[in-house]
Structure 1
């Protein structure tokens, strides 16, 4: 098993140029040390989608941890416009960075984090591009989630270029999720997933309301987009992997204190504490 993994990683490294490989290593160093990179030092290395995802793949491999799932970003016109994009993008997330609510994250674990409110899907079986939205509903569990985007670059939001975002695993930090239930237990029809609303609180004060319709009209559309994208790249979504499907609202800076996101339609709530210690 270890030999196979080493051969796979070696092949991936050979596919990267020397500069791309060096960039992936610097992303990993920043991931470990929490010393932020400057985009200007690397802006000429990643200038297209294929290169960006190639660097992301190597960055992910360097973490030497199982991929627990993915996050989908830029799922509204507003966020796409902010990053000069006309489509979503994704980032692979290691298993240990999907954490169940309630949880405390320590400031030392974070760099420049944000808070986003999302719907999380968990695949009960492998998913494929031929699956209809109805199929995806039947093949998944759902849960409320607060995603914590966090970049390896300084001053990243909202100025980081989309290719840098891609290379940086879609600025993946942590995904805090609540109780997972069968999707069909909460939702009778596909369209029902487009009518979920949420509220985000910090230290008891409501900051924002959000709606699932902001996620490509319906979070299932986001899941379907990801399934097809991964399949096209030869890495289909596997049973047990989770997907944070896109934010219901524009992100807030994740400051210290108590955070809560509440959802209707029976999804429940997510509780997250950010500690200085």
Structure 2
């Protein structure tokens, strides 16, 4: 698909979907807009390979009729890959309205079955390429502390949803919250330092989880590089200004009403979220 515009790519992929797959994308969009969950049993087997799953995802993104603000990368640890029977990460496109600057508040009524993760968020301030070294990726990005809220259009989805349904459902994208952005090279002197970022996740003031960035493909920059390469291969390269949520430090708990805080070291600061009914 190299050389095609986004609209041309979407048109080509829409026509390549079977009627069942087009219906699947439409049902995902309906669930997204109405927050009425789909049953996994109704859609098992609708998608059976990565390429088709990403085509369904792009159709779903097209139906949202909103600019893509960035991406989330999932399955970035050995543990989560095993849970979803995968040997590699996967990504989901996220529309602009799903990226929120913290501190902020959200209502559970606007979500479906959300979880909560702690991540690093990178924003491309220059064109990122698959040929870039990890150092070059640092030099071309900002970094921010992040708190992601995965959410799925399927009922009882975690941790039993199949990889292909996860991919079709925009990598179960919900919300991405991010703290203050800083040039990555101002926060970290070397690429190796990015493998040693520590974070504590607090719920109503009590520590619930703690994790380290090495859980994310040994270094979140590896996750960013994987995404840049994958999008290039698919003919839809990452755009300047888009943000990437690179993967969770911890196995995610369920999001609940109350106050959530992710505390990061390396001067990254905190990300605070208030959840209401």
TM-score by length of 2: 0.97
Q: In structure 2, how many angstroms separate the alpha carbons of the residues matched to 1:9 and 1:187?
A: 38
8 A contact 2:103–2:272 mirrored in 1: yes
Q: Any gaps of 5 or more consecutive residues in structure 2?
A: none
8 A contact 2:6–2:236 mirrored in 1: no
- Alignment match, 2:205: 204
- Alignment match, 2:247: 246
Determine helix, strand or coil for the equivalent of 1:146: strand
Q: CA deviation at 1:9?
A: 4.2
- Alignment match, 1:145: 146
8 A contact 1:216–1:222 mirrored in 2: yes
- Alignment match, 2:102: 101
Q: In structure 1, how many angstroms separate the alpha carbons of the residues matched to 2:172 and 2:139?
A: 30
- Alignment match, 1:124: 125
8 A contact 1:126–1:236 mirrored in 2: no
- Alignment match, 1:61: 62
1:54-203 matches, within 5 Å, as 54-203=55-204
- Alignment match, 1:257: 258
CA RMSD of the aligned region, Å?
1.1
Q: Any gaps of 5 or more consecutive residues in structure 1?
A: none
8 A contact 2:145–2:270 mirrored in 1: yes
Q: In structure 2, how many angstroms separate the alpha carbons of the residues matched to 1:252 and 1:20?
A: 31
8 A contact 2:10–2:58 mirrored in 1: no
Q: CA deviation at 1:119?
A: 0.3
Q: CA deviation at 1:6?
A: 6.5
- Alignment match, 1:275: 276
Determine helix, strand or coil for the equivalent of 1:252: coil
Q: In structure 2, how many angstroms separate the alpha carbons of the residues matched to 1:24 and 1:151?
A: 14
Q: CA deviation at 1:90?
A: 0.3
- Alignment match, 2:49: 48
Q: CA deviation at 1:10?
A: 3.7
Determine helix, strand or coil for the equivalent of 1:273: strand
Cα deviations across residues 111-165 of structure 1 (Å, max 9, x unaligned)? 0000000000000012110011010000000000000000000000000000100
Question: Which stretches of structure 1, 4 residues or longer, exceed 2 Å deviation after superposition?
Answer: 4-12
Distance 1:213 1:269, change over 3 A: same
Deviates most, 4-13 or 229-238: 4-13
Q: In structure 2, how many angstroms separate the alpha carbons of the residues matched to 1:206 and 1:55?
A: 38
- Give the paired residue count: 273
Q: In structure 2, how many angstroms separate the alpha carbons of the residues matched to 1:6 and 1:222?
A: 27
Q: CA deviation at 1:7?
A: 6.1
